[in-house]
Amino acid sequence: MADLTAAVESVFRQESGRIIASLIRISGSFDMAEEALQEALTSALASWPEKGIPDNPGAWITRAAHNKLIDQARRERTRREKQEPLLYESQTCVPGPDSATEEPMTDTDDRLRLIFTCCHPALNVEAQVALTLRTLGGLTTTEIARAFLVPEPTLAQRLVRAKRKIQDARIPYEVPNSQRLPERLASVQSVIYLVFNEGYVSTAGDSLVRKELCTEAIRLGRTLCELLPKEPENLGLLALMLLHDSRRASRTDSKGGLVTLEEQDRSRWDRSQIQEGLMLVEKALRMRRAGPYQLQAAIAALHAEAASPSETDWRQIEALYRELMTHHASPVIALNHAVAVAMSRGIQHGLALIDQLERTGELVQYHLLYGARADLLRRLGRKEEACRAYTKALDLCANKIEQDYLRRRIEEARSDKSSD
């Protein structure tokens, strides 16, 4: 029974996005689609022990779920003008669940419609993320709430409100036209990268990395590349996530403490992810439509290709950040550019840029601004100033692992200062 449950859970993880997308198209309802899918999974647990796991379990569950929609339509006595198209489409396109050997329905358009609906600008970012993970990702409400450190009832209400907003605002279940596609696609990419970043560097809590979020974001990135393979920014986004995630195992020590990029054991980096990431970067850049994700991926690629910190091509990284700011100017990118300048042209040059950025006031609540400043001051031997900057970073940091790292740096600076 344990093997059977695992098989059903595996199908749910891999196929739920495809299945739910077609169910929403047919039913016009997120709730009806989710209910039908859950009933189909229950049917699988009841039927498969006796009949065995079908050759194509995803197709079996898809057909069973479609048939559940027919039952729902009959039970609820849907108005004829809605019921007849539902029954006609389901009965003509979806055979019974026992005929599991037939090919599943084509689902590319359905999943495209679903991902653009989940990431519609009428929804706030928190709702977009939750709905995307719930429908396309197949994560449970409990899993999403745990990953984002919010109470489960709060996350459940967030999902309810998002679905109600889609219904009440009559948000169309469609792929945007060519004029609106670039802007809407950028929103989808942003949601996926937000999920990845929250997993890669948790903004709060006792863990630096939440690998389930990184894994899910990469899976969604692959889905986006599969659905829109000629969009180079999709390839750049996937490459960027893979290259960052390749360093996951080396980012903490045996006690769970943070290990900076410069101090990481590069033999622990995932070479298969790096190779795939490099291939995707090259493929994207050959399309000659460079964008922010491609440029960030190219920067990550230079770090990945360096056999040691001293071999990092910081001049090229600085040039890429400079180009990135022409596409997507932001204070955080300016901070990263300043660090690259420090490493390529000299610490004083980079520190001057960081001091200038601090004076603008745009990053006064961003702990990494003070962490970067402290690191450069430490390298210059200005220990007392470094200690103050590390302390400021600690005051603003909410992640326990990063807090512990900053405390270690503060103690080191104080120890060095007292020994002078």
Residue in the structure block whose two tokens are 């996530």: 241
Tell me the pLDDT tens digit for each residue of 272-326.
999 999 999 999 999 999 999 999 999 999 999 999 999 999 999 999 999 999 9
Q: What integer is the mean pLDDT of 6-26? A: 80
Say yes or no to pLDDT of 1 above 80.
Answer: no
Residue 214 is encoded by which pair of tokens? Answer: 């990184």
Q: What is the pLDDT of residue 131?
A: 92
Read off the pLDDT band of 92 (50, 70, 90): very low
Please tell me whether residue 308 adopts helix, strand or coil conformation. Answer: coil
Residue in the structure block whose two tokens are 């999709």: 234
- Where does residue 4 fall: left (phi above 0), alpha (psi -120 to 50 degrees), or beta otherwise? alpha
Say yes or no to pLDDT of 418 above 70.
Answer: no
Please tell me whether residue 258 adopts helix, strand or coil conformation. Answer: strand
SS (H, E, C) 340-406: HHHHHHCHHHHHHHHHHHHHHCCCCCCHHHHHHHHHHHHHCCCHHHHHHHHHHHHHHCCEHHHHHHH
Tell me the pLDDT tens digit for each residue of 51-71.
888 888 888 888 888 888 887
| 185 close to 231: Cβ distance less than 8 angstroms | yes
In angstroms, the Cα distances linking 91 to 63, 84, 166, 380, 396 are: 10, 10, 27, 74, 59
Please tell me whether residue 251 adopts helix, strand or coil conformation. Answer: coil
Among 9-13, 33-37, 327-331, which stretch is predicted with the lowest mean pLDDT? 9-13
In angstroms, the Cα distances linking 141 to 129, 157, 176 are: 12, 10, 28
Read off the pLDDT band of 107 (50, 70, 90): low
Read off the pLDDT band of 88 (50, 70, 90): very low
pTM of the predicted structure, to 2 decimals = 0.81
Residue in the structure block whose two tokens are 């967030």: 158
Q: What integer is the mean pLDDT of 112-129? A: 92
| 223 close to 111: Cβ distance less than 8 angstroms | yes
> CA–CA separation, 314 vs 341, rounded Å?
8
